[in-house]
């Protein structure tokens, strides 16, 4: 019974997420998986896989969050730094 209740709560939590939340979660999941594989292969031990998963998960979450901002584009300021701005009409 507890398993069914927990599954139901998880399903409700997932359906309440916005698109941006889902993109952030997907980015974190993909990043963690890729980081674990790369870390494990590079170091040959579980510690490297765990560190890779943590770093990849954080990086993937950031990329997933930033990439899901509709109506915003990347531009360069007068110093050449990349900034996020509202897209001009038609983009």
pLDDT digits (tens, 9 = 90+) for 53-87: 999 988 888 888 777 667 778 888 999 998 888 88
Statement: residue 89 has pLDDT above 70 = yes
What percent of the chain stands above pLDDT 70? Answer: 71
Any idea where the domains of the chain sit in the sequence?
2-86
Tokens found for residue 85: 């701005």
Neighbouring residues of 12: CB distance < 8 A, sequence distance ≥ 6: none
In contact, 60 and 31? CB cutoff 8 Å: yes
Write down the pLDDT at residue 30: 87
Tell whether pTM > 0.85: no
Summarised one tens digit per residue, pLDDT across range 15-48 is 445 555 677 788 888 888 899 999 999 999 989 9
């Amino acid at each position: 019974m507890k398993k069914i209740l927990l599954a139901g709560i998880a399903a409700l939590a997932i359906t309440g997420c916005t698109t941006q939340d889902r993109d952030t979660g997907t980015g974190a999941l993909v990043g963690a998986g890729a980081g674990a594989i790369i870390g494990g292969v590079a170091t040959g031990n579980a510690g490297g896989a765990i560190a890779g998963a943590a770093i990849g998960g954080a990086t993937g979450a950031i990329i997933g969050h930033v990439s899901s901002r509709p109506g915003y584009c990347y531009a360069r300021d007068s110093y050449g730094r990349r900034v996020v701005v509202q897209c001009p009409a038609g983009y």
